[in-house]
Amino acid sequence: MAWGMGKTYLGAAICAMVKGKKLVVVPNITEKEQWHVYLRKFNARDVQLETYSAWHKVQGKEYVLIVYDECHRLPAPVWSRFATVQSKYRLGFSATPYREDGREDLIIALTGYPVGLSWEHFLQAKAIRKPRIICKVVSTDREKLSVLEDLLKIPMKTLIFVELIASGEKIAKHFNLPFVYGNTKDRLDVISKNLVTVVSRVGDEGISVKDLERTIEVEFLGGSRRQEAQRAYHLLHSVKPEISTR
């Protein structure tokens, strides 16, 4: 289903309704923080929340329900072993069921029958909207910083995405901005408290920023449809009337 349609909300609600031991698997700590918020909201009990790198914590265990968040990651050679964990029920959530390794069919095979693949009814009902997308092509990193400086003169709630940690540190230092990356604690709190935040790959998926107005992508992983869609369409979580990505 599309971004902002309540996948995490639904998952947490189901965890609260289903009795017995549950497992929720997420890509990174950023999403763990967000799931904790929703699980507390529904007072969901007996839920083990782990990242896809924590196989050693679930190996050999059994659950009533497993929720695979961002389940497009599940077919990866290492992470697919999570599909062997025993459970009575399983759910897979994704807004971007894309892979560049030819394993897209396994997304459905490992999680269940797909629901919500067509977004036409969401668009017709105006439940989601397309952001305004502008692409600026420059020749050098110096020109990138110049364009970024001009954009930041317009105060808006913004996420600036980078691919390299060194680039994130450079931009954060140059513009005196916070940088959220792998070593950052309380990532969602940092993003919520600042008008503009530089973010590494740890912010690519799953985070919901309700007052987000703009995303700026300075660097990206070439050829990844999933990353491009995830970064741009964070804006669908926003309640702001004007949203744009650059």
Name the domain boundary from 105, 124, 143: 124
Q: Which of the four pLDDT bands, split at 50, 70 and 90, describes residue 246?
A: low
Residues 6+ apart with CB under 8 A from 237: 3, 4, 207, 208, 209, 210, 212
Contacts 24+ apart (CB under 8 A), 43-49: 43/16, 44/12, 44/15, 44/16, 45/16, 46/20, 46/21, 46/22, 47/15, 47/22, 47/23, 48/21, 48/22, 48/23, 48/24, 49/24
Domain shared by 117 and 50, yes or no? yes
pLDDT at site 5: 82
Domain shared by 120 and 137, yes or no? no
Name the domain boundary from 107, 124, 141: 124
> Tens of pLDDT along 55-65?
999 999 999 99
pLDDT at 129 over 80: no
Domain shared by 148 and 112, yes or no? no
> Tens of pLDDT along 202-211?
888 867 888 9
Q: Which of the four pLDDT bands, split at 50, 70 and 90, describes residue 177?
A: very high
* pTM (2 d.p.): 0.77
Q: What is the DSSP string of 193-227?
A: H-SEEEE-GGGSSS---TT--EEEES---TT-HHH
The answer to whether position 1 is within a domain reads no
pLDDT at 52 over 80: yes
Domain shared by 119 and 226, yes or no? no
pLDDT at 243 over 80: no
Nearest to 203 by CA among 221, 218, 191: 191
| Distance separating alpha carbons of residues 231 and 90, to the nearest angstrom | 27
Domain shared by 120 and 141, yes or no? no
CB atoms within 10 A of CB 142: 8
The number of distinct structural domains making up the chain is: 2
| Distance separating alpha carbons of residues 171 and 148, to the nearest angstrom | 9
Q: Which of the four pLDDT bands, split at 50, 70 and 90, describes residue 244?
A: low
Domain shared by 169 and 94, yes or no? no
Name the domain boundary from 124, 150, 176: 124
| Distance separating alpha carbons of residues 152 and 37, to the nearest angstrom | 30
pLDDT at site 53: 92
Nearest to 214 by CA among 239, 179, 191, 246: 246
Q: Give the residue, 200 or 236, on which the prediction is more confident.
A: 200
By residue range, what is the domain housing residue 149? Answer: 132-245
